Amino acid sequence: MPIILIHRLRPVALVALLALSVAGCNDTEEQDAKPPVPQVRVETLQLQPLAISTELSGRLLAPRTAEVRARVAGVVLKRVYREGSDVKQGDVLFLIDPAPFKADHDSARATLAKAQANLYQARLQEQRYRELVDDKAVSRQEYDNARAAFLQADAEVAAAKAALERARLNLGYATVTAPISGRIGRALVTEGALVGQNETTPLATIQQLDPIHADVTQSTRELNTLRRALRAGELQQAGNGEASATLIQDDGSAYPLPGKLLFSDISVDPSTNQITLRSEFPNPDLDLLPGSYVRVRLEQAVQPKGISVPQRAILRDSAGVPKVLVVDAQARISERQVVLGNAQSDRWIVSEGLAAGERVVIEGLQHVKAGDQVQVDTAQGSQPIAQHNGQ
């Protein structure tokens, strides 16, 4: 080839090489710019028994409360008990001045003795006149008078006995005792105070604290829905028919001792359309005090075959409609609207929208959307639902 031709072709070859080099760089940059397939963690749904529990708010109250009151009028001599202590039924709490009641008792006893003496005399008189009237020694009228005097004396003895018993009771009432067992509060009267039956202020108050009751309220709509589901066989009774109860204290912690539902009230509050439910909890250490605000989680039924998802798997659109992201067999994301039931701890029971065997995204939701191809996290794998009991 002539040297001149070679020199003319050299620039052309250089341009071609440069073009190929630039094209190769562009392909590499495009490959480097392509985002990686996002990874997500999923949970495989399974049908299993789920506890249907409801968390309701209310307050603690003592099952028995007794106001200690004076049953006789008098001056308080002494407070016997220690304020804030536990007392038993019959323990002495206050002493009222017994002197006037002792005097009344002694007077009633003397009156009874006098009435008994009069009865003795009237009985002898009636017996003598009975013999004499048969012999015509006394008139029938005189005998009738003696008989009436005897009956009157017998009635006076009965009245004197009743008066003595009343005086004995009043003397006993001067010693004020505990009407029930429980914890007694502060004294509302002091030594030297004049007390009586008609006083509005009690001497003290005793409350029984073990066990303790928790009264909570539930809407009639929720309760009726639950009852209809039980009658239709969609739900089953929890346990042996007694709804178990867990008490959530004001700091959010669960009380360690389980309780039980005692009953639901027989009437509905017309102002709130709610019904009162009463549960009972053991309180051996007296940690729970009446008047405290609490929440009670009642396990009211069991769904034999239910589906639940972690609360973190739930997304909501601008209208607040709940939805989840489902991964299909081709590892592609789809969006699914769901109907949620009760919240169970950190999970939601799903009433409609999901089926057993489907895979729901529980981690990485913020990085994917419907239609995306994803890679299931092989390090974590598909996480099946552990059986959840609502506790």
Regarding whether 311 and 375 lie in a shared domain, the answer is yes
List the domain range (segments joined by +) for residue 221: 52-63+210-304
What CATH number is given to the structural domain containing 375?
A: 2.40.420.20
- Residue 93 and residue 71 in contact, taking contact as beta carbons nearer than 8 Å: no
What CATH number is given to the structural domain containing 189?
A: 2.40.50.100
Listed residues 287, 304, 321: the one ending a domain = 304
Regarding whether 342 and 251 lie in a shared domain, the answer is no
Regarding whether 111 and 135 lie in a shared domain, the answer is yes
Regarding whether 356 and 311 lie in a shared domain, the answer is yes
Which positions ≥6 away from 35 have C-beta within 8 Å?
none
Two tokens, residue 85? 């202590």
Regarding whether 316 and 300 lie in a shared domain, the answer is no
Regarding whether 154 and 93 lie in a shared domain, the answer is no
- Flag whether 79 is in a domain: yes
Regarding whether 132 and 85 lie in a shared domain, the answer is no
pLDDT digits (tens, 9 = 90+) for 284-322: 988 888 988 888 888 777 777 788 888 888 888 888 889
- Flag whether 254 is in a domain: yes
Q: What is the pLDDT of residue 1?
A: 46
Regarding whether 190 and 83 lie in a shared domain, the answer is yes
| Whole-angstrom distance, CA of residue 35 vs CA of residue 33 | 6
b/e code 282-311 from CB counts within 10 Å (16+ = b): ebeeeebebebebbbbbbbbbbeebbbbbe
- Flag whether 35 is in a domain: no
Global pTM reads: 0.64
pLDDT digits (tens, 9 = 90+) for 188-238: 998 988 898 777 789 999 999 989 999 888 887 777 777 777 777 666 666
Q: What is the pLDDT of residue 389?
A: 43
- Flag whether 371 is in a domain: yes
Q: What is the pLDDT of residue 148?
A: 92
Regarding whether 312 and 237 lie in a shared domain, the answer is no
- Residue 326 and residue 68 in contact, taking contact as beta carbons nearer than 8 Å: no
Residues of the chain with pLDDT under 50: 1, 3-9, 14, 18, 379-391
Q: How many domains, in total, are found in the chain?
A: 4
- Flag whether 300 is in a domain: yes
Two tokens, residue 219? 């809407």
